[in-house]
Amino acid sequence: MTLRCDLIIRDATIFDGTGNPRFKADIGVSGDRIVAVGDLGAATAEREVIATGKAVAPGFIDAHTHDDRAVLCGPECMLCKMSQGITTVVVGNCGISLSPVRMTSRPIPPLDLLGEESWFAFDSFGEYADRLARDPSPVNTYALIGHMSLRVEAMNGDTQRAASDKEAEHMRKRLAEALSQGASGFSTGLYYPPNMMAPTEEVIAVAEALRAAGGIYVTHMRDEANDVLLSIEETLKIGRAVNAPVLISHHKCSMPENFGRSVETLKLIESAALKQKVDFDIYPYAAGSTVLMPHRLRPDVPVQITWSVPHPECAGRMLDDIARDWGMEPKAAAERLTPAGAIYFQMDEPDVQRIMAHRLGIIGSDGLPHDSYPHPRLWGAFPRVLGHYARDLGLFSMETAVRKMTGQTAEVFGMTDRGFIRAGAYADLVLFDPATVRDGSTYDAPTTVAEGIIETWVNGRSAYVYGAGATAERAGRLVSRNGA
Ligand code: CU
Ligand code: ZN
């Protein structure tokens, strides 16, 4: 009997997600799975795609996102990701998650990166998961629970202090409950003022819930500048204390006086990796983006405004220009702009490349989907790694680039049957042109679609087609650690 598939992609150059050399083959898909990889000359399908001269990779996994709300908003909201070939997003990073907390007034920064209070409407992760099941996203969602969200709930909004033992115990229970309802890990954002007040012991007490559940600990560390080494030690200590794998978020060495120090940080992480599970994610840019923090401005770090509640017209402009127009110091102008978001040009390109090329590094966008003038990483991170860094600069092979966006990422997070092209895996796929793929978004035009990403499939369904945009499919699912 001849094989009959829903979809066959023929004569593709395959990057299978393992980092092994590319090869030519056909891929057969039935339902939500890849059913065959090889010469499918005898097989037939509902739809056939001739991919001669083009490449197919596993759908990219965005290791670091703030898409908690965007995944609830339908296909248009996820166009920025599907147009990069992304099929799975990890939400709940940097201590910020939409659940489990209900809010009645504007969330304090950086929780407001996800929106105003009406979005924080999920008493439990289970309710959030139900909403995703009822009203599916076009991409798969893998969820972390944020320390800051837990703190706001457990401490009744009074978060500018360390939690009491009782409050930490409440957070631990809420985290354990979320992990039992399909969340996969715990994230902290100890860098941010309200969370800075949490001592290591508080984090360990809450993270204790990870031990029994086998969850992952993910952190935007307390300090990515002068004390970056101390912060890495703290992160490793937390992981060891609760026997959890750790993932350092958007690893960087921030501020000019720390440029070049990735040599030290990578050495420290490497030696720790011999004794405990530790990895890091990185976005491929030398500028970061988060909320605007007037007290942290420095004259040697240029700042571009990404949104402002009182002055939306300032989005996209440089803070120095706004301050000059207003006839005031940048700090005073920043205070007038808040609540607001910003891009900070605070990294060194050689550090970015050294960290990205390291074998423990995986790719995450850290894109901020609700910013009116977002950092270009939201629309461009993945094609930028493939085009600019792998093909044009030769920082690593395209096989390695794909591995850092797929198979390696799936392994770090414990995703089952995703991140690889092989029979039996989920049919999360991206068809792209290795000769032309590149990011289209820039600091001047941040929402431009990538070039060379031709089509994206999620669980066997076509989710994005270049030129046509997002399809109406909503085939995404909740993906959990070591689960289906
Ligand atoms: Cu982040
Ligand atoms: Zn962060």
Ligand 2 centroid to 72 CA: how many Å? 21
| 149 CA → ligand 1 middle, Å | 14
Element counts in the chain: helices (H) and strands (E):
15, 23
So what's the pLDDT on residue 431? 99
How many angstroms separate the alpha carbon of residue 218 from the centre of ligand 2?
A: 10
Q: What is the pTM of this model?
A: 0.98
> How many A from CA of 164 to the centre of ligand 2?
25
Ligand lying closest to the C-alpha of residue 221: 2
Residue with tokens 């001849």: 2
Could you tell me the distance, in angstroms and rounded to a whole number, from the CA of residue 228 to the centre of ligand 2? Answer: 14
Please list, in sequence order, all residues whose beta carbon lies within 8 angstroms of the beta carbon of residue 415, skipping any fewer than 6 positions away: 61, 88, 142, 409, 479, 481
Q: Which ligand is nearest to the CA of 65?
A: 1
CA distances from 134 to 72, 116, 129 (A): 10, 23, 9
Cα 65 to averaged position of ligand 1 atoms, centre (Å): 6
Q: How far is the CA of 95 from the centre of ligand 1 (A)?
A: 8
Q: What is the DSSP string of 412-424?
A: HHT-TT-SS-STT
Per residue of the chain (484 residues), what is the pLDDT tens digit?
A: 689 999 999 999 999 999 999 999 999 999 999 999 999 999 999 999 999 999 999 999 999 999 999 999 988 999 999 999 999 999 999 999 999 999 999 999 999 999 999 999 999 999 999 999 999 999 999 999 999 999 999 999 899 999 999 999 999 999 999 999 999 999 999 999 999 999 999 999 999 999 999 999 999 999 999 999 999 999 999 999 999 999 999 999 999 999 999 999 999 999 999 999 999 999 999 999 999 999 999 999 999 999 999 999 999 999 999 999 999 999 999 999 999 999 999 999 999 999 999 999 999 999 999 999 999 999 999 999 999 999 999 999 999 999 999 999 999 999 999 999 999 999 999 999 999 999 999 999 999 999 999 999 999 999 999 999 999 999 999 999 977 5
Beta strand 469-470 with 101-102 is unpaired
Tell me which ligand sits closest to the C-alpha of residue 92: 1
Name 450's Cβ contacts closer than 8 Å, sequence gap at least 6.
Answer: 83, 84, 379, 380, 382, 383, 437, 438, 439, 440, 441
Q: How far is the CA of 399 from the centre of ligand 1 (A)?
A: 26
Ligand nearest to the CA of 68: 1
> Element (H or E) spanning 280, and its range?
strand 278-282
Q: Which two tokens stand for residue 107?
A: 């969330």
Cα 131 to ligand 1 centroid, rounded to whole Å: 23
Between CA 83 and CA 67 the distance in angstroms is 15
The residues, any chain, with a CB within 8 Å of residue 337's CB and separated by 6 or more, are 292, 305, 308, 310, 311, 314, 319, 322
Closest by Cα among 336, 429, 449 to 383? 449
CB 27 within 8 A of CB 67: no
Interval between CA 169 and ligand 2 midpoint (Å): 25
CA of 64 to the centre of ligand 1 (A): 6
- CB count in 10 Å sphere of residue 160: 12
For residue 161, report the distance from its CA to the centre of ligand 1, in Å. 22
CA 352 – ligand 2 centroid, Å? 16
Cα 212 to chain centroid distance, Å, stands at 25
Topology of domain 294-342 in CATH is Dna Ligase; domain 1 (3.30.1490)
Ligand approaching nearest to the C-alpha of 219: 2
**How far, in Å, is the centroid of ligand 1 from the Cα of 97?**
11
Q: What residue has token string 């996102």?
A: 65
**Centroid of ligand 2 to alpha carbon of 251 (angstroms):** 9
* Alpha carbons 437 and 451: distance in angstroms, whole number: 5
For residues 407-434, one letter each, b for 16 or more C-beta atoms within 10 angstroms of the residue's C-beta and e for the rest, the string is bbbbebbbbebbbbbeeebbbbbbbbbb
Domain boundary assignment for the chain = 58-293+343-418, 294-342
Q: How far away, in angstroms, is 329 Cα from ligand 2 center?
A: 27
Three-state DSSP class for residue 250: coil
Say how many Å lie between the CA of residue 372 and the centre of ligand 2.
19
* CA–CA distance, 111 with 102 (Å, rounded to integer): 12
Residues with CB under 5 A from ligand 2 (ion): 94, 220
Residues around ion ligand 1, judged by CB within 5 A, are 93-94, 366
Give φ, ψ of 298 to 5 degrees: -135, 145
Q: Which ligand is nearest to the CA of 113?
A: 1
Residue 338's Cβ-count burial label (10 Å; 0-12, 13-18, 19+) is: middle
Contact criterion met (CB below 8 Å) for 186 and 171: no
CA of 478 to the centre of ligand 2 (A): 22
Look up residue 70 and give its DSSP letter: G
**Taken in order 113, 119, 123, 128, is the CA torsion positive or negative?**
negative
Gap between the Cα atoms of 356 and 57, Å rounded: 19
Q: Which CATH number fits domain 58-293+343-418: 3.30.1960.10, 3.30.420.10, 3.40.30.10, 3.20.20.140?
A: 3.20.20.140
CA 114 to ligand 1 center in whole angstroms: 11
Whether 58-293+343-418 shares its CATH topology with 294-342 is answered no
- In the chain, the N- to C-terminal Cα span, in Å, equals 30
